[in-house]
A and B are shown apart, each in its own frame.
Chain A
Amino acid sequence: MANNAPNPSELYFIFFSATAFFVFLAGFIIYFIILYQKKQTQNKAEREILEANFKQEFLKARLEIQEETFTYVGRELHDNINQVLSFVKLNLAMIKVEESAQQTKINENRDLVAQVITDLRDLSKSLSFEHITKLGLVKTIENEVDKLNKSGLVEAELVITGDIYPMGEQRELVLFRIFQEAVNNTIKHSGANHLKISLQYIPEMFNLTLEDDGVGFSANSLDHSRGSGLMNIENRATVIGAVASISSSAGNGCSVKVNLNPLLQIQYIDGKYPNRLG
């Protein structure tokens, strides 16, 4: 069929043009694949940031609601129930009977009511946001340790090392709630005799440690209430930019450690929302 042989240079041109065409096509496809995967990675990173922010906001909102509830309950205990009980105590003091056995009973009841008033006042203080921020973290924990020791539920020991520095109201409040949650877990579940609480103030790092000598637990054996309590600790720590680690094994007690870099500035505890917890 090849009657009119074309010019060789023309054939070379066609050959190189066709090759260039396929090289260009392949190059375009490779470029697209690389660009697409880059975009995918970018998108994934952005989505993860959004998810983390959402989780953080959700935790913040939950803690805010919890804190408001605590404040409300604390105020009610202090302003309402305590007042009523004071009247009851006063009324009991005013009752005078001839029979000494009955008088003794009345006095005993009056002492019991006085005890309830004191306990409720302590409870109200431990729930109150204002009280904790006024006293500061160390003093509040010291008071709690005293109460624990007086209650006889557990023998608590408090060790404070380093120069105490303030960490901001919000962070101290959250740290105190973590402390409360951990103590609550120890009393309710561990059966421990001894609880050691350490507050370690290093310029770059604050460490809160609670160690008990109770029955301990393995991760698989956690019931719902204890599991959610431990999760609360971790969530609260996340909100203030701290890291909580809980370690335990069956028969070896439990240790809760919270590490916080006080120099770390978290947007929402940095004065941007001064009236909010988170």
Chain B
Amino acid sequence: MAPVVHFRAAVALAGRFPALAGVDLSLDQGEVVVVVGANGAGKTSLLRACAGLLPVTSGEATVLGVDLTTDHTSVRRYVGLLGHAAPLYDELSAAENVQFAVRALGLPVAGANEALERLGLTGRLRTTPAGRLSAGQRRRVALAALVARRPALWLLDEPHAGLDATSRALLGQLIAEAIVDGASVLLSSHEPELSVPLADRVVSMGGGRVTGEEPGGRRVTLTAVPTAGPAATARAAGATHVA
């Protein structure tokens, strides 16, 4: 089976600055890879490149079967990126934000409601405008939108930041469930004590390159048969070009 993410000597420019300076990385279906490194190492750029937000200018870069060097936009609807800034409209409620994300993919709104409940966004939290929520609550709304979209590749940039202990535990459960459903996860973190236990592999970055790799400490035992792999998810969303 082709890897979900395949980068070989991948270079991506942010303006004239090489944000990725020859990255080699592979991520298989059902795998959780944690990326660690100092500030400016290229972790966020790697996630943005995988999401098709940062064009790869040279080298090999394939995500979910889409060659990012020739087409970096088609892959976007199949990935879920939880970045530093929550993709929320302040005037819309938590529910409206998640429902908008789901409707954009043509998925049923019921999925949004399930995700909101899963993240504990019920009652008044559900109808409160996102602009009035705390940073942690906004993070949960963004996570609910990601869960509801059921992406084939989860890209989580410092996902534990701003979350309380309960939400951090829930995040671990959500990642485990996504893996069971056939998704893959690429996660950057400054908190190895929280992220490494979730990982199959830990990749170190520095200067826009992968500088090392070691096994992760994933404790989850996967016994269930994957029900919705990337290709199945893509087909359900009407894709024709995703491997």
A, B co-complexed: no
A residues near B, CB below 8 A? none
B residues near A, CB below 8 A? none
